Amino acid sequence: MCGIFGVYNYYGDVGEFRQRALDLSKKLRHRGPDWSGCIVADNNIVCHERLAIVGVDTGAQPLTNADESIVLTVNGEIYNHKKLEAELKQPTSFKTHSDCEVILHMYSEIGTDVCAKLDGMFSWALLDRRSAKSRLVAARDPIGITTLYIGRVSAHPETVFIASELKSLNEECDQIDEFPPGHYFDSEDGQFHRYFKPDWWTPERIATAPVDYRQLRESLTAAVRKRLMAEVPYGVLLSGGLDSSLISSIAVREAARISASAQSDTEDIDTRGARYFPRMHSFSIGLPGAPDLIAARKVAKFLRTAHHELTYTVQEGLDAVADVIYHLETYDVTTIRASTPMYLMSRKIKSTGVKMVLSGEGADEVFGGYLYFHYAPNADDFHKETVNRQVSDGVGYSWIDSLKEWAERRVSDEAMAAVHERFPYDTPSTKEAYLYRELFEQHFPQQACLKSVVRWVPRTDWGCSADPSGRAQKIHDKAY
């Protein structure tokens, strides 16, 4: 993932602030180590930290149109960029091979309607300088795959900060909000506007169509296939479970087909780079002896992937928790539990040169696979939950138990008894949550940072346990 940073309508001397903006953008360089770019225009600054995936040779950002009246910084991939390029009405000369450049040319023709036309994962900020007063338009993909925050300064309400991560905003802004998925922000009215409006989004509308397994299979295959347009080595996260194994098998098959098609250039999708990386990499992680590692090994052997297996100790996981909290910018218990092993594996993946991976994450949210879904009172509430609710944990119980024991040692009974005094806002209810909150505030002590955190809260109104772990749900015992 790339990192984007921008300041619109800066209230001071923008020339003097440029170096400060570069320093704030630099905090995102772990996301984009391949190139850094910065454009200062009037009293606006647009920065970019690049991770090159598509258009490796020419896709440096920020991107501009011919006369540089439109400036764009993007984190993401636009899967239908070729189709959109063909829809442009005006003759257009592209400066790069980036799949993201089409956004600024499409915006030039149809304005903010471009948001609803994009098929991809993205967050971007666009500066339109064609009028006397510059205009900022920023957008985030429909379900928030990419991160994005918006910040403001109370004393200067017309100034707007945009960044991929909280750490680029917390020292400058006293108001920080997570940018809502499926929306765009327009400085002309200072409001968010929802552009993502599928018919199933309305909570009152419950899905009633009969199950169509062929459609499900074809949709899933297409979703995997369009994500394989990278010009760099890519791979899959493989736990050996149903979801990751399905994605891996489809990815291996489709990568082979794309590679073959690329030789004749007959495909209407982006196949650049496919011919260079014919063998899929797969990655798995677990504590020593974890059943997931054994299952992943079997799947990898069957699929003939270049398999990489990583084991970690409980202590190595505990040592990484503080870094995980810093990078994820959260104190949410569920997120930290699940993300720590992923963080360790991501470091391993980076060392191999692989820049893009697919995973089976998201299936349990869409299909209600987590144990707590068994407590849904009725079909309507079940459907609403699949639409509206961040995730439960999907990690081993021994890891969760180790985290709880660690927190028990680190947080005293006396400290927990005074938790309401220590944390009056969003008060932690367990020692584990207390510890994560304490580590979070070491990096992000500002009140504005607390209000930007999105937490997964168990459905206690359904009779679920307050602990987000799947094992804490009574239905778990019944399964055995």
Q: Which residues are catalytic?
A: 2
Chain centre to alpha carbon of residue 63: 22
**Residue 13: is it exposed, middle or buried by C-beta count within 10 angstroms (0-12/13-18/19+)?**
exposed
Burial class of 281 by CB neighbour count within 10 A (0 to 12, 13 to 18, 19+): buried
CA 63, 67, 70 angle in degrees (round to 5)?
45
Distance CA 288, CA 442 (A): 32
| C-alpha pair distances (Å), 148 with each of 1, 74, 80 | 12, 11, 22
SS (H, E, C) the chain: CCEEEEEECCCCCHHHHHHHHHHHHHCCCCCCCCEEEEEEECCEEEEEEECCCCCCCCCCCCEECCCCCEEEEEEEEECCHHHHHHHCCCCCCCCCCCCCHHHHHHHHHHHHHHHHHCCEEEEEEEEECCCCCCEEEEEECCCCCCCCEEEEECCEEEEEEEECCHHHCCCCCCEEEECCCCEEEECCCCEEEECCCCCCCCCCCCCCCCCCHHHHHHHHHHHHHCCCCCCCCEEEECCCCHHHHHHHHHHHHHHHHHHHHHHHCCCCCCCCCHHHCCCCEEEEEECCCCHHHHHHHHHHHHHCCEEEEEECCHHHHHHHHHHHHHHHCCCCHHHHHHHHHHHHHHHHHHHHCCCEEECCCCHHHHHCCCHHHHHCCCHHHHHHHHHHCCCCCCCCHHHHHHHHHHHHHHCCHHHHHCHHHHCCCCCCCCHHHHHHHHHHHHHCCCHHHHCCCCCCCCCHHHCCCCCCCHHHCHHHHHCC
